[in-house]
């Protein structure tokens, strides 16, 4: 849970969870562990709470208007009881945590993802992205150097470019 650019791993976890969609506890846990979070326990009840949280995270990635974006993120912070504090557990250097290690698993996921998106909004809201291929729905944190990422993958980019060309060719032939 370190303080990195563009919301750091916390914002990345938010994107990964949204892209995963509602999932059973074991799948959610694998994604969270891959992102460096540790849990003594992750129950089906925790999974249900996290799954209910996902549409709210998706809303943030989908929102283009900064005023609305800020409102959405502030609501996430309020509802997640995000309570940042500095930890030096396990001999690590001082770093920011978003919730107590002793809070329940679902609460920690809510606080962590809300905190990550809050950092990201403060740094650069344009880095919060959703694939510009309509109907794809994959979300991402744009960590590219120029901050102009529009698509989740080259596959989606190619698809949209091909469609644009066809449309142009069609309008020329009329």
State the residues that interact with Zn ion by CB under 5 A: 1, 131, 133, 136, 138, 152, 156
Handedness of CA 48, 115, 1, 130 (dihedral sign): positive
Measured CA distances, 26 to 30, 33, 168 (Å): 6, 10, 47
DSSP per-residue string spanning 87-155: E-GGGPPPEEESS-TTS-HHHHHHHHHHHHHHHHHHH-GGGEEE-SSTTT--EEE--SSSS----SSHH
Nearer to Zn ion, 122 or 132 (CB): 132
Tell me how far, at minimum, the Cβ of 70 lies from Zn ion, in Å: 26
Nearest Cα neighbor of 149 from 162, 172, 130 is: 130
Tell me how far, at minimum, the Cβ of 38 lies from Zn ion, in Å: 9
Nearer to Zn ion, 146 or 154 (CB): 154
Nearer to Zn ion, 20 or 70 (CB): 20
Nearest-angstrom CA–CA distance, 78 and 81: 6
Nearer to Zn ion, 49 or 160 (CB): 160
Tell me how far, at minimum, the Cβ of 83 lies from Zn ion, in Å: 14
Tell me how far, at minimum, the Cβ of 130 lies from Zn ion, in Å: 9
């Amino acid at each position: 849970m370190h303080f990195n650019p563009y919301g750091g791993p916390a914002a990345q976890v938010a994107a990964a969870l949204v892209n995963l969609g509602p999932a059973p506890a074991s799948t959610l846990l694998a994604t969270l562990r891959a992102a460096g979070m540790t849990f003594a326990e992750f129950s089906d009840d925790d999974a249900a709470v996290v799954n209910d949280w996902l549409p709210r995270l998706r809303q943030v990635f989908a929102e283009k208007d900064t005023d609305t974006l800020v409102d959405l993120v502030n609501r996430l912070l309020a509802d997640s009881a995000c309570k940042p504090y500095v930890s030096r557990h396990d001999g690590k250097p001082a770093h920011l945590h978003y919730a107590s290690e002793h809070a329940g698993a679902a609460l920690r996921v809510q606080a962590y993802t809300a905190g990550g998106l809050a950092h990201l909004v403060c740094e650069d809201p344009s880095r919060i992205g959703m694939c510009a291929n309509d109907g794809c729905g994959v979300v991402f944190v744009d960590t590219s150097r120029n901050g102009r990422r529009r698509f989740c993958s080259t596959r989606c980019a190619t698809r949209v470019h091909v469609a644009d060309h066809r449309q142009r060719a069609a309008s020329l032939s009329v």
